[in-house]
Structure 1
Amino acid sequence: MKILQGFKNMMKIPQTKIGLVFAIFVPVFFMIVWMTGYNNATERLDQLNVGIVNEDGAASKVIAEQIAKNSPFHVVAVSEYEKAKEQLDKGKYAMLIVIPEKFANTMTDGSGELTFYVNEANSQVAVSMMEKAAAEISANLGAHSGVKADIVKTNELHNFAASMLPMILGFITYIAVMTMNIQFNLVGQIMKKGHSKWQIFWSRQMLLLIVALVVPTIIISLTVAFQDVSASFWKLWLFHVLVTAACISFTQMSFSLFGNAGPLFNVAMVPLQLMTAGNIIPANMLAPFYQHFGAFLPASNGVQGFTKLIYTGESVSVFAVHLVLLLLVTFVITIIRLATQKEKAANPALSAKQLAH
């Protein structure tokens, strides 16, 4: 009977109910989001852009048109190789097909060769699809003449560990900050007994600012110590500061809006950010409803930005702007919400020792 009474008392505690909600809600939400978001993703290959450069001119015009017509991707004709290669490195194209000079002539003697540039700074699913497509395109053209495929991987990382960096720097930062803010929220609840809400808030912001500067310094220092990456230390550091600050403000906002249910909201954002980060499959292959979610989530912008910095060193200004807007909007929401909350009378005589207990 004592056990039964203990069980009843346990069920009266709000945190018990929240824990049970987590146990049910998290897997259900993952299931719903991923099953609907990834649904029929492979049927949206036409959302992937592939560039084609015809250096053989009129002689291979029909061949270029045939490739574009039979390809499941959205094929874009580009006149200049250098311009196309630049767009490939920027991530505009998942693959670049180059028809070399005199290709039409070499096809007849069985020595024809197409060059396929596959951008490794893309999701592994997309890279795999491009490599398979390159082999199929060459096989279809060379059915009677033996066209070969020369697949050139661009922005290739030879160390597999480096390919995990965008997830570590962009996504794991969110998980770490989310966990940290759960603890800081509990600290804030304890401090209410002896401090005003604004004292607690601005003290926390001071601590969070230190975290946003110190943590990236440590993590990026380790990054450049262990791996060769395309971007400089300062570019990586500045972007990681932005990602960390945006994650902090985003997860902090959930507590101001939802109180003890804040962690539930933060966890609910995990599958959305994993899905829209573009490292599993490109975001434009997701179900239309989910394709633009990533722009409004910190980890999604972080992963996509770090992918560019680590693989190519290209500009991440678009993602930086998104993160700044996220930071500002979520911070303002937190301030407004806090301003509307009634404050309990503080007890200035409460000692630090009492707060600790």
Structure 2
Amino acid sequence: MRTLKLFMKRPTTWMGIATALMFQFIFSVVWMTGYEGVTDRTGQLRVGIVNEDQGLDKAVASKLQSSLPVQTVLLSDREEAMEQLDERELQMVIRIPSTFSADAAAADRQASLDFWINESNPSLIKSIMTSVSGQVTAEVNKAAVGEGVRQILAKVQPAEQAAAASAALAERVVGHVQPVNPVSGMNNQMIPMMMVLASFVGSMIMSMNLEQSSAALAAQTGRWQRLAARCVLNVAAAVGVSLVGASLIMALGGQAERGFLALWGLMFVMLLSFLFLTQMFLLLFGIGGMVFNILLLSVQLVSSGAMVPRELLNDFYANLGNVLPATYAVESGMDVLFGGPGAGRAVGMLLLIALSCAAVGAGTVALKPGRQPVREAAQAS
């Protein structure tokens, strides 16, 4: 207890705890409010349509404009459209070639549409525009098929019957998308990455400050007492910081399918593993261990599946992610927040990593020669 009190008297100790809390507060507020409603505002994106086919039914172009989830603008000049695309005034340009109608009516060739997407944009733009291009192709293909069938039937049936029959034949298969474990908005979709980033950076800075406090107290107390005090502070900070983080997420509209207590428990275990991991490198290498912690921050963002699906990673990063806590934090976070098979296995791995890092840290303290603390002034005299 004496060593713990000495730690609490050091300003660096309080600075470390405050930093861990600050990261939870800042990231939760900024990310949850900044990403709120992002997917609902796709209608603000603009797509240019350049129709070079004078024979194309105007109703087809009008229907295309009304069916897309983005703003559309009809342009007569392709060069103007490409200039606006390059300047990011448009996010995609669709060109209907002059031969489109003739190609669609011919039996020996296919009609084609041209799409240009400016990839010098956030990655979400490319994803949305790629989806829109598929929708455009499907809509125009349906219209072209219907028109082709109508022309054939018009030769043997009255125009009204031909139009009705062609509309039915053009849409024989309809797809219905039914989401499983739906996510409510992009701000919720970003929570797993936000939790990892805020918790690891906060843990990293807190561990650095506790290392400085420990070094300052080396002459007053033993190394085992200092390690025990740090472990107590880690557990206490994990409880308090996770409570603040989980409360902020829920207060700012975050969804938690498993409930608040499950989210709090998950964040506690996640913070515990991060704190003992970052502490381990500082015990091994002193303040120079921050280099490894900074490296781990980058590596975990890549390998955890928070930004890029792990199925798309190469073998090196996929295997590396198997031994790092952020991977299991993201996996369990998705289960707790959005629903899934359960977070038991991932939480167990987080606890195993925390215990392993604590054991390595204790082994490091045992093997390193420590300074003998000075005696009290009265004893020394």
Please say whether Structure 1 and Structure 2 have the same fold, judged by a TM-score greater than 0.5. Answer: yes
Q: Residues 218 and 373 of structure 2 are in contact (CA less than 8 Å); yes or no, is this contact kept in structure 1?
A: yes
Q: Establish whether residue 193 from structure 1 lines up as the match of residue 222 from structure 2.
A: no
Alignment of 1:180-259 (within 5 A): 180-227=206-253, 228-259=255-286
Deviation at 1:150? 3.1
Aligned to 2:324: 297
For residue 336 of structure 1, what is the amino acid of its counterpart? G
Aligned to 1:173: 199
For residue 301 of structure 1, what is the amino acid of its counterpart? Y
**Structure-2 change in CA distance of 1:289 and 1:130 (3 Å):** farther
Aligned to 1:288: 315
Q: Return the index of the structure with the highest Cα Rg.
A: 2
Deviation at 1:229? 2.4
**Structure-2 change in CA distance of 1:201 and 1:261 (3 Å):** same
Aligned to 2:337: 310
Q: Residues 126 and 282 of structure 1 are in contact (CA less than 8 Å); yes or no, is this contact kept in structure 2?
A: no
Deviation at 1:136? 10
**Structure-2 change in CA distance of 1:334 and 1:308 (3 Å):** same
For residue 313 of structure 2, what is the amino acid of its counterpart? L
Q: Residues 301 and 322 of structure 1 are in contact (CA less than 8 Å); yes or no, is this contact kept in structure 2?
A: yes
**What SS class does the counterpart of residue 370 from structure 2 fall into?**
coil
Cα distance in 2 for partners of 1:321, 1:237 equals: 15
**Structure-2 change in CA distance of 1:126 and 1:201 (3 Å):** farther
Equivalent pairs counted in the alignment come to: 229
Aligned to 1:41: none
Aligned to 1:267: 294
Range with greater deviation from structure 2 (247-256 or 129-138): 129-138
Deviation at 1:268? 0.5
CA RMSD of aligned residues (A): 3.1
Cα distance in 1 for partners of 2:347, 2:138 equals: 40
- Which runs of 5 or more residues in structure 1 are unaligned? 1-122, 352-357
Aligned to 1:324: 351
Cα distance in 2 for partners of 1:179, 1:280 equals: 23
Alignment of 1:50-199 (within 5 A): 146=171, 147-199=173-225
Identical-residue share of aligned pairs (%) = 21
Deviation at 1:124? 7.2
Cα distance in 2 for partners of 1:159, 1:175 equals: 25
Cα distance in 2 for partners of 1:164, 1:336 equals: 37
Please give the per-residue CA displacement for 1:55-89, whole angstroms capped at 9, x wherever unaligned. xxxxxxxxxxxxxxxxxxxxxxxxxxxxxxxxxxx
**Structure-2 change in CA distance of 1:285 and 1:322 (3 Å):** same
Aligned to 2:369: 342
Deviation at 1:258? 1.5
Cα distance in 1 for partners of 2:344, 2:126 equals: 24
Deviation at 1:128? 6.3
For residue 234 of structure 2, what is the amino acid of its counterpart? L
For residue 269 of structure 1, what is the amino acid of its counterpart? L
Cα distance in 2 for partners of 1:137, 1:202 equals: 64
Cα distance in 1 for partners of 2:248, 2:284 equals: 35
Deviation at 1:127? 8.1
Instruction: Calculate the TM-score normalised by the size of structure 1.
Output: 0.57
**Structure-2 change in CA distance of 1:238 and 1:124 (3 Å):** farther
Cα distance in 2 for partners of 1:317, 1:130 equals: 37
Cα distance in 1 for partners of 2:210, 2:318 equals: 33
Cα distance in 1 for partners of 2:346, 2:323 equals: 10
Q: Residues 231 and 309 of structure 1 are in contact (CA less than 8 Å); yes or no, is this contact kept in structure 2?
A: yes
